[in-house]
Amino acid sequence: MKAKLALEDGRIFEGRFFGAKGIATGEVVFNTSMTGYQEVLTDPSYYGQMVAMTSPHIGNYGVNRQDQESARPWVRALIVREAAEFTTNWRSRIDLDRYLKQRRIIGITGIDTRALTRHIRDKGAMRGAIVPFENSDSRAIELAASSRAMKGADLVSQVTCKSAYRWRKGFETGWSPWKAGKYGKTRNKNEKAFKVVAYDFGVKINILRSLAHFGCELIVVPAGTSWKQVLSMEPDGVFFSNGPGDPAAVTYGIMNAEKLIAKVPLFGICLGHQILSLALGARTFKLKFGHRGGNQPVKRLKTGTIEITAQNHGFAVDTDSLPGSCSITHVNLNDATCEGFEHSSLPLFAVQYHPEASPGPHDAAYLFDKFMQLMRDHSH
């Protein structure tokens, strides 16, 4: 069945449906990962977005049970050049087309994703609509232009957990990206596990696995949990997770972060990085087209080494707005934006990218060890 993708600026791309059929709207963004479409689909940070994969052949290894980053897919739609008709992988349980149908996620294939990506790079990420081909271009453009804008949108409330729960599963059984042992547990056998409260702004499962792997017993709490409730749990540290939407709109998260600063070691990833910066008085801004993919180069300023990182964000921290008490620890080599900072005197640091690397490289896994050491240094 033929379909079309319309952008709010009037650009039209023709293709055909796979997965579910119907109408979808959202911000159109692109991801440069060659693999990892299942993790992309189930990453809550993509809520409200239609994701175009720049790799031309998507779906060839199917969908498995291990690579879910949450219990369900969150993307509004998946846009690909060619959806694989055949699946070949020993872990696969279902093909991508059937998976999308079952989860009622619209897909469009046959799109010139190279042209789409170049257009977004030139013009910026923008709203779009996928509709059946018989819809008029003007109607499709109208749907795109009238859909919700990402700037100013608090989407965290739509993806956070409903109630607190405990998480203790690391990589002890089953598949693990770190089975080779390069990133082993740093907690001594006789050392008590660190109790960490994790704010769920749209947390990925692999972040929880990673924290548990490095020696944390986690209590995952809804995004609106008050700082007083968190402190009543007597945590050794507090983690601020990734998530979707505009960080400046998550006012409750910023307020709780403000109250927790200086009281307990803090670590933030992605949206958590932005929320901690806002709590310190910094500003955030919307990037032209964002950073999304498992091949993003970041320079670690302390050592001068280059890390290839996994990223997914459309907003960034304004470096010049960070207070003098903070220092930049990492910068993006493509556009020099802030990828990490730490406080000079308080136990607080954050990174914009994803050290849990799911999908992606494992260059930055040491950051979990850094959080463990921070809690060790400030334990009573």
Across 78-96, average pLDDT: 96
Give 81's DSSP letter: S
Question: Given a cut of 70, is residue 272 above it in pLDDT?
Answer: yes
Residues 33 and 182 placed together within one structural domain of the fold: no
pLDDT tens digits, one per residue of 320-375:
999 999 999 999 999 999 999 999 999 999 999 999 988 778 888 899 999 999 99
Assess whether the previous peptide bond of 359 is cis (omega < 30° from 0). yes
Across 34-57, average pLDDT: 97
Question: Given a cut of 80, is residue 2 above it in pLDDT?
Answer: yes
Residues 221 and 336 placed together within one structural domain of the fold: yes
**47-74 burial by CB neighbour count: b if 16+ within 10 A, else e?**
bbbbbbbbbeebbbbbbeeebbbbeebb
Contacting residues for 147 by C-beta, under 8 A, at least 6 apart: 25, 26, 127, 129
- Helices within the chain (DSSP H only): 37-41, 96-102, 113-123, 137-146, 156-159, 205-213, 227-232, 251-260, 271-279, 366-377
Catalytic residue (choose from 8, 39, 356, 362): 356
Question: Given a cut of 80, is residue 206 above it in pLDDT?
Answer: yes
In the chain, the percentage of residues whose pLDDT exceeds 70 is 95
Residue 102 lies in a domain: yes
Residue-level pLDDT at 37:
97
Residues 28 and 99 placed together within one structural domain of the fold: yes
Mean pLDDT of the chain: 94
356 has catalytic annotation: yes
Neighbouring C-beta atoms of residue 84, cutoff 10 Å: 18
Residue-level pLDDT at 168:
85
Residue 217 lies in a domain: yes
Instruction: Check if the beta carbon of residue 61 is closer than 8 Å to that of residue 92.
Output: yes
338 has catalytic annotation: no
Residue 48 lies in a domain: yes
Residue-level pLDDT at 169:
84
Residues 232 and 298 placed together within one structural domain of the fold: yes
Q: What domain range is 126 assigned to?
A: 2-146
For residue 53 the two structure tokens come to 């994969």
Residue 169 lies in a domain: yes
Angle at 225 between CA 220 and CA 227, to 5 degrees: 105
Catalytic residue (choose from 216, 270, 326, 338): 270
CA 304 to each of CA 171, 316, 330, 333: distance values in angstroms, whole numbers, following the listed order = 30, 22, 10, 12
Contacting residues for 142 by C-beta, under 8 A, at least 6 apart: none
What's phi and psi for 263, nearest 5 deg? -100, -25
* CATH (domain of 229): 3.40.50.880
Residue-level pLDDT at 181:
47
CA 363 to chain centre: 17
Catalytic residue (choose from 291, 343, 354, 362): 354
Domain end position, chosen among 113, 146, 179: 146
**Range of weakest confidence among 148-152, 189-193, 255-259:** 189-193
Residues 141 and 162 placed together within one structural domain of the fold: no
Residues 141 and 160 placed together within one structural domain of the fold: no
Residues 340 and 373 placed together within one structural domain of the fold: yes
Residues 14 and 82 placed together within one structural domain of the fold: yes
Reported pTM: 0.95
Of the pLDDT bands very low, low, confident and very high (cuts 50, 70, 90), residue 175 is: very low
Residue 314 lies in a domain: yes
354 has catalytic annotation: yes
Of the pLDDT bands very low, low, confident and very high (cuts 50, 70, 90), residue 180 is: very low
Residue-level pLDDT at 189:
63
Residues 221 and 80 placed together within one structural domain of the fold: no
Domain end position, chosen among 115, 146, 177: 146
Phi-psi region of 234 (alpha: psi -120 to 50; beta: other; left: phi over 0): left
Instruction: Check if the beta carbon of residue 221 is closer than 8 Å to that of residue 160.
Output: no
Domain end position, chosen among 121, 146, 171: 146
Residue 151 lies in a domain: no
Residue-level pLDDT at 191:
75
CA 215 to each of CA 193, 254, 315: distance values in angstroms, whole numbers, following the listed order = 5, 27, 31
Residues 276 and 255 placed together within one structural domain of the fold: yes
Number of domains the chain contains: 2
Residues 225 and 98 placed together within one structural domain of the fold: no
Residue 248 lies in a domain: yes
Residues 220 and 351 placed together within one structural domain of the fold: yes
Residue 15 lies in a domain: yes
Question: Given a cut of 80, is residue 154 above it in pLDDT?
Answer: yes
* CATH (domain of 73): 3.50.30.20
